[in-house]
Amino acid sequence: MSLAQKFTGVFGFPITPFNKDLSLNLDGLAKNVDEMTRHPFCAIVAAGGTGEIYSMSVEENIEVVRVAVEATDGRMPVVAGVGYNLPMGVAMAKGMEQAGAKALLIMPPYYTNAPFEGLVAYYKTIAGATGLEVSLYSRDWAAFSPDQVARLAGAIPNLTFWKDGQGDARKYQRIMSVVGDRLAWIGGIGDDCVSAYFGVGVQAYTSSISSIAPRLSLALAEAGMKRDFATLDVLMKKFVHPLYALRDRLKGYEVSVMKTMMEMIGKPAGPVRPPLVDTKPREEADIRKVVELYAEWA
């Protein structure tokens, strides 16, 4: 059984804490990851989108993974985000493998108009730079047809799981039907899509809520795996939708709001790096209401 086949339930997604001067707060990262990995996630993803991978240098991303691996203390595998462009992605993949990552999450390249053949070469080269299992992250413009996903799986032997960031349950179900159990299927656009993702048969999902309320993210996955949509409906309406309404107020708030909430509950987070922007002071009262709502999951 591949590592990816063992991924069931929830991937924890830690933010990357920064100090006020925007330098890395590695002590804060270690503290957060240590607390998160005392909950039964299937893995954590360091230097992912929520972890502001694109705002950090290659060296910083590798250091984030190294600290996350140490902080997990062997409790669960660390999946490391890689990307940018080909040479940087290869350097990150090699460095993160050396730092102790057990799998890689390959982000789309910076170039948004690349032909499919070029994308295959990009993903295949980065994946081939290590012996780790890898996932592609299909997000934003990096959207693929069922046939293209099958071709990627055929071209990249160590591609073992797939993280969807499109949120199109109908298309994702078609992809899963065509490719079958060649890949492990992960829901990756957000906690607000848990019902749709588990409805089409994913085995795990990636959770931003895991940073602030780990038990809630695990409860969402448990209900999803049981296909207990009545319970999911209650959890979504009471806890998930109010949070995601805040995150939708401004581009990039999917990170900024989480960091503000973490600071409010005493967890190291700090500001975001440009081009993201911190939450506006006018949002504080509404964010605090959601924090109070989540108190029962503390």
Which pLDDT score, from 0 to 100, does residue 250 have? 97
Inside any domain, residue 239: no
CA–CA distance, 70 with 54 (Å, rounded to integer): 22
Question: Do 166 and 175 meet the contact criterion of CB atoms below 8 Å apart?
Answer: no
Quick one: pLDDT at residue 1? 82
* Phi/psi at 54 (5° precision): -75, -10
Higher pLDDT, 1 or 237: 237
244 in a structural domain = no
Range of the domain at 107: 4-226
Q: What is the pLDDT of residues 140-178, one digit of tens each?
A: 999 999 999 999 999 999 999 999 999 999 999 999 999
Q: For residues 218 and 1, what is the distance between their CA atoms, to the nearest angstrom? A: 23
Q: Determine the average pLDDT of the residues in 199-204.
A: 98
Considering the domain boundaries, does residue 97 fall inside one? Answer: yes
Q: How many CB atoms lie within 10 A of CB 40?
A: 12
In a domain, 294, yes or no: no
Query: Per the structure, how many domains does the chain have?
Result: 1
Burial class, 134, CB count within 10 angstroms (exposed 0-12 / middle 13-18 / buried 19+): buried
Q: Are 54 and 84 in contact (CB under 8 A)?
A: yes
Q: How many CB atoms lie within 10 A of CB 183?
A: 22
pLDDT of amino acid 131: 96
Could you tell me how many residues make up the chain?
A: 298
Q: Residue 231 domain-assigned?
A: no
Taking only the tens place, the pLDDT of each residue in 23-64 is 999 999 999 999 999 999 999 999 999 999 999 999 999 999
Does residue 232 form part of some domain? no
Entry pTM: 0.97
What does the alpha-carbon distance between residue 296 and residue 273 come to, in Å, rounded to a whole number?
A: 31
pLDDT given for residue 168 in this prediction = 97
How confident is the model at residue 298, as a pLDDT? 85
- For residue 63, the domain's CATH number is 3.20.20.70
